[in-house]
Amino acid sequence: MNRRLVIPALVAGLLLTSACTDNTAATGDARTLTVNASDTECNVSAAEAPSGTLTFKVTNDGSKINEFYLLADDGLRIVAEIENIGPGLSRDLVLTAPAGNYFTACKPGMVGDGIRGGFTVTDSGEDVGPKGEDAELVAEADAQYASYVRDQVDQLLVKTQTFADLVKARDDDAARALYADARVHWERVETVAESFGDLDPQMDAREADLEAGDEFTGWHRLEKDLWPARAEGYTPMTDEERAAVADRLVADTNTLYDRTRDMTFTASDIANGAKGLLDEVATGKVTGEEEYWSRTDLWDFQANVDGAKVAWEGLRPLLQRKDEALDSQIGQAFADLQTLLDKHRSGDGFVTYDQLSASDVKELADSVNTLSEPLSKMAGVILS
């Protein structure tokens, strides 16, 4: 569950495309260029630069929102871009450019072809790697990740339906046995599910996530009824209450199913989704807060890690090309974390959270940090 409840249902993939950072590269460096963009002009400090990592420091001196592009020699293909530069604001575009002919373009007001100028990247002899196949690799990563999301939501829908039937039939032993297993599919794609701000609070809110007047529904409402041992003075749900919550959960899962059929993902979405899943582990699962009643946090933990690993694997061809060392650091950290998690396996699943010692939890948390830190760098590397 995401702690912010109602966000606009923006589909992941709408906003994120370019790599821009706020670093302060030394000026006077031939690879650092300034761009003064007004409503009528686009002044780039130089028309050429040596191949390598280039930084365009773009300042919008005009009165309209501006954009800055580096276009390939066909004038069509976008090599890199920054969007939404408000009047008076500055932003850096950092990218790795091989030798070749390009165009720079400012687009005040975000309309038209932009104010263009020729731009040449000379061969510095520095190895900047092949660039041409990036788009293809991103498309492959998108296709692979979108298919993973669809598949997980497929399985989630089937198991949620079964779970709902068991809850309504008061077959509580069977419902408890299925609970964590069904939720695995939610947790594997949690950052995608959370991007639907209307569904997330209905399906995955914990009781503390609500305020007076909010209805407590979804997975954790049923979790509490199935594992009331830690609930003081708890009144069990009636058959009608159970049916209402279970039916709504199934209906919401159907909505999630529909919405995930034709989702697409940019490389940035996938990379930041992986980072987001590890954030979920760090703030909710490793602390045992997510599954307060059932104590099945380690199932969710594993599922978040699964989802992050799939995202990384999809991006690996791209990442390996850009930064082999980072890729292997991430790979090692995934392997080490998995070794630790495997220590707590029991039967088809895991031990419950209350069976972990303080040092077990610390060991897991440290391992999550060891993985999260390099994983958080993946998006910036891939997009540079």
Q: Which is nearer to other proteins, 175 or 277 (CB)?
A: 277
Residue 36 tokens, joined: 């003064």
Q: Does 372 bind other proteins (CB under 8 A)?
A: yes
Q: Which stretch binds other proteins (CB under 8 A): 81-89, 134-142, 152-160, 180-188?
A: 81-89
What is the rounded distance in angstroms from the CA atom of residue 189 to the CA atom of residue 183? Answer: 10
Minimum CB separation of residue 280 from other proteins in Å reads 9
Q: For residue 116, report the phi and psi dihedrals to the nearest 5 degrees.
A: -105, 155
Minimum CB separation of residue 67 from other proteins in Å reads 7
Q: What would the x/- binding string for other proteins be over residues 114 to 153, using CB under 8 A?
A: ----------------------------------------
Residue type, 339: T
- The phi-psi region of residue 141 (left if phi > 0; otherwise alpha if psi is between -120 and 50; otherwise beta) is alpha
Half-sphere exposure of 298 (CA within 13 A, CB side): 21
Q: Which is nearer to other proteins, 4 or 170 (CB)?
A: 4
Q: Which is nearer to other proteins, 69 or 179 (CB)?
A: 69
Residue 262: alpha-carbon gap to chain centroid: 17
**Contact with other proteins (CB under 8 A): which of 12, 31, 42, 67?**
67
What is the rounded distance in angstroms from the CA atom of residue 102 to the CA atom of residue 81? Answer: 13
Half-sphere exposure of 33 (CA within 13 A, CB side): 27
What is the rounded distance in angstroms from the CA atom of residue 211 to the CA atom of residue 60? Answer: 43
Q: Which is nearer to other proteins, 283 or 346 (CB)?
A: 283
Task: Provide the 10 A C-beta neighbour count for residue 312.
Answer: 21
Q: Does 367 bind other proteins (CB under 8 A)?
A: no
Q: Which is nearer to other proteins, 212 or 325 (CB)?
A: 212
Minimum CB separation of residue 44 from other proteins in Å reads 21
Q: Does 25 bind other proteins (CB under 8 A)?
A: no
Task: Provide the 10 A C-beta neighbour count for residue 309.
Answer: 21
Whether the Cβ atoms of residue 52 and residue 97 lie closer than 8 Å to each other: yes
Q: Does 88 bind other proteins (CB under 8 A)?
A: yes
**Contact with other proteins (CB under 8 A): which of 39, 48, 83, 313?**
83
Q: Does 8 bind other proteins (CB under 8 A)?
A: yes
Minimum CB separation of residue 82 from other proteins in Å reads 10
Minimum CB separation of residue 211 from other proteins in Å reads 5
Query: What are residue 117's DSSP bridge partners?
Result: 104
What is the rounded distance in angstroms from the CA atom of residue 280 to the CA atom of residue 119? Answer: 43
Minimum CB separation of residue 343 from other proteins in Å reads 18
* Residues 6 or more apart whose Cβ sits within 8 Å of residue 359: none
* Residues 6 or more apart whose Cβ sits within 8 Å of residue 13: 263, 264, 265, 266, 269
Q: Which is nearer to other proteins, 79 or 277 (CB)?
A: 277
**Contact with other proteins (CB under 8 A): which of 32, 55, 59, 60?**
60
Whether the Cβ atoms of residue 61 and residue 38 lie closer than 8 Å to each other: yes
| Site residues (vs other proteins, CB under 8 A) | 2-8, 10, 14-16, 20-22, 60, 65, 67, 83-84, 86-90, 110, 208-212, 214, 272, 275, 279, 282-283, 286-287, 358, 361-362, 365-366, 369, 372-373, 375-376, 379-380
